[in-house]
Amino acid sequence: MRLFLNLKLLFLVIFLNIDLYSKDLTKVTIQLSWFDQFQFAGYYMAKEQGFYKDAGLDVEILPFSLGMNIPKMVNDGDVDFAIGRENLILEKAKYPKIIALAAIFQATPLVLLTTKDSGIDTFKKFENKKLMRTKDDGSEVSLKAMLSASKIDLKSITQVEHSHNIYDLIEKRVDIISAYTSKAPYILQKEQIKYNIFYPKDYGFDMYSDFLITNIDKYNNDYSIVEKFKKASLKGWEYAYNNIEKSVDIIFEKYNTQNISKDELIFEANELKKLSYLNNNKLGDIKQEKVQRIYDLYNVMGYINSEFKIDNFIGYDKKSRLEKWLYSKFEEHFNLAFLWKLILIIFIITAIFVYRQYFIIKLNKRLKNLVNIKTNRLKIMNKKLATRIKKELDKHQEKDRILAQQQKMV
C-alpha cells in the first residue's frame, strides 16, 4: 500500500515538473507586413502546430495596420521579429540595426499586369498609358529596373495611386497595374479575363522578398531565441507547403480578416510555393552574392545615399560547419520532439525501476532484521528450555537416588 502511494507521489511530482516546464515559455512578437493571407502561412502554422511551443516560445503574431513603419519598429526594438519587403536593403541604410535571418521568397511576387484586350503586350506599349502602383511599389527596385531596362520613355507613363482594386484594370480605369502574382491573377482567371504578366525575375531581376528580420542587438545577445524562432518558423513554412489544404482550412477559420475564399487561398499558396523554392533553392536561403548584386543594382540606380557594409545585412548561423552538419544529419534521422518524449518516458520508467529496487532492498533488509530478531529469540527460548529440562532431569535423578537409598535401608 505504501509503495502504491509513493509511486503516485512520484508520478505527481514528475508531471507537475513537466507542466511547470511547459508553461515556462519565452514571449516574443512578430509583426506582419500586410493583412492576413497565405503570405504568412508559415508563421500561422508554426503557432498552430505547436512548433513555437516545442521550441520554448510563446509567439504573438501582431496584425498589420496601414501607415506602419515596420523596419523602424524592429530597429527600435518595439517588436522582436517582423517581415521585411523587397526594399529591405534600402531600409538597412536608414535603420542600421535590422538584420535578415531568412528570405521566404527567392523572387518577389510583385509583377505588372495588363489585359490581353488592351493590346499592351510589350514594354514599348506602356508609353502614354496609366500605371497604377503604390508608393512602396515605386521604391521596390525590381519594377523600376525592369522598366528602365526596357528603354522606354518612363516620363510618358502616368502614375496613378494604387486602389488595391483589380477591377480598376478590368474596367479599364487604368491600363497597367502592379500586383502580387499570388493574388490578382486569381480574380482575372475567375472573371475569365486573359492577361499579360510582366515578371521582373523573367528579366533577370529576381529580388528576395518577405525577409524574416530581427534587431541586431537581439541577434547578438539572445541568439538562442533567434535561432529557435527561425528554425520553428521555417518548419511552419514546410508544413504549410506540404499540407496546403489543411493550412488553408486553419487560415480560413482563424486568420481571415480579409474574408478570402478557400479557393483563392489555395491559389495563393501554390503560387508562393513556386517562389519559395525557385531554382531549387533551400527554403529561406539568403546568398551573399545575390544580396551584393541587389545592393549594386540599387547603387547604380541611385537609391543608395550612404554606403554601408552589406555583410552586416545577413544574420549568419553562428554554429560551426561541423555543428550544423552533425545537427542536420541528426535531424534527418530523428524526430527531436519524439526523442525528448522518449527520453522522458525512459526517465520515468528508470525512476520507477530504481525506486522498486530500492524498496525491495529496503524490504529485504527489514525481513533480514526480523529473521535475526526471531532467530535470537528462538535461541534464547531454546537455551531457557534446555536449562529448564536439565533442572527437571536433575530433580528426577535426585528423587531416584533418594528412593534407591531408602530401598537399601529396608
What is the residue whose three cell numbers read 511599389? Answer: 137
The DSSP symbol for 322 reads: H
Are 85 and 277 contacting, i.e. CB atoms less than 8 angstroms apart?
no
Whole-angstrom CA distances from 351 to 22, 178, 347, 364, 365 are 21, 64, 6, 20, 21
In angstroms, the CA 143 to CA 134 distance is 12
pTM above 0.75, yes or no: no
Cell of 259: 474574408
Quick check: 77 and 29 in contact, CB under 8 A?
Answer: no
How do 195-198 and 110-115 pair as beta strands? antiparallel
Q: Which CATH number fits domain 22-107+208-316: 3.20.10.10, 3.20.20.140, 3.40.190.10, 3.60.15.10?
A: 3.40.190.10
- Confidence (pLDDT) at 23: 53
Sort strands 176-180 and 130-133 into parallel, antiparallel or unpaired.
parallel
Name the amino acid, one letter, at 314.
I
- Supply 2's cell numbers: 505504501
* Fold exhibited by the domain 110-203: D-Maltodextrin-Binding Protein; domain 2 (3.40.190)
Q: Please check whether residue 189 is in contact with residue 121, taking contact to mean a CB–CB distance below 8 angstroms.
A: no
Cβ atoms < 10 Å from Cβ of 289: 7
Tens place of pLDDT for every residue, the chain, 410 residues? 555 455 555 555 454 444 444 458 999 999 999 999 999 999 999 999 999 999 999 999 999 999 999 999 999 999 999 999 988 988 998 899 999 999 999 999 999 999 999 999 999 999 999 999 886 554 567 888 899 888 899 899 999 999 989 999 999 999 999 999 999 999 999 999 999 999 999 998 889 999 999 999 999 999 999 999 999 999 999 999 999 999 999 999 999 999 999 999 999 999 999 999 998 999 999 999 999 998 888 888 888 877 777 778 999 877 654 554 555 555 555 555 566 667 878 888 888 878 788 878 888 888 888 888 878 887 788 777 778 887 777 777 777 777 777 777 76
- The 10 Å Cβ neighbour count of residue 376 is 10
Write down the domain spans for the chain.
22-107+208-316, 110-203, 335-380
State the Cα–Cα distance between residues 285 and 93, nearest whole angstrom.
Answer: 22
